[in-house]
């Protein structure tokens, strides 16, 4: 089935919900799971680059990924984490190529989910540019249960 899955996480409950479904695929197939979170390069965010700020941002991103990596490993999965720096869709596609990923598993929407469009801008760009299969998890399926 699959040997490797890439799951982009952006801090949204939608992307984290997609991770739960990706882990189920990994359990069924024995695939390794690579996680990625991407921080904007300061030049892309239209603010001046400051080395100390970039280092702090990288550390926050690593700290965000760490619990997901640890929980996955504790549950018996082979999980790794990676922080990309730049355009999110480009970094996701680059990671899939560099790590020879079989399939990208991601939510249709992330932090900017407005629900007005079928796909978010990052998801759409990944679909348009990835040379790997992409499994899109609708935000309804990746949302936490409502009380």
Domain boundaries, the chain: 4-137
Give the H/E segment covering residue 63: helix 51-74
Integer Cα distance of 112 and 29 in angstroms:
31
Write phi, then psi, for 77 (nearest 5 degrees).
Answer: -95, 155
Integer Cα distance of 120 and 31 in angstroms:
27
Integer Cα distance of 81 and 36 in angstroms:
6
Give the architecture (CATH level 2) of 4-137. 3-Layer(aba) Sandwich (3.40)
Per-residue confidence in pLDDT tens, the chain, 147 aa: 789 999 999 998 889 999 999 999 999 999 999 999 999 866 555 555 566 777 888 899 999 999 999 999 999 999 999 999 989 999 999 999 999 999 999 998 766 555 555 556 888 899 999 999 999 998 765 555 444
Query: What's the pTM?
Result: 0.85
Tokens of residue 118, six digits? 């079928």
Integer Cα distance of 83 and 62 in angstroms:
7
């Amino acid at each position: 089935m699959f040997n490797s899955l890439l799951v982009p996480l952006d801090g949204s409950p939608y992307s984290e919900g997609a991770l739960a479904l990706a882990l189920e695929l990994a359990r069924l197939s024995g695939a390794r799971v690579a996680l990625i979170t991407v921080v904007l390069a300061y030049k892309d965010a239209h603010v001046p680059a400051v080395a100390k700020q970039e280092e702090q941002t990288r550390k926050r991103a690593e700290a965000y990924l760490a619990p997901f990596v640890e929980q996955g490993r504790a549950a018996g999965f082979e999980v790794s984490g990676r922080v990309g720096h730049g355009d999110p869709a480009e970094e996701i596609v680059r990671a899939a190529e560099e790590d020879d990923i079989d399939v990208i598993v991601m939510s249709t929407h992330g932090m900017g989910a407005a629900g007005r469009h079928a796909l978010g801008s990052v998801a759409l760009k990944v679909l348009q540019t990835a040379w790997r299969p992409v499994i899109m998890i609708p935000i309804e399926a990746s949302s936490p249960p409502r009380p």
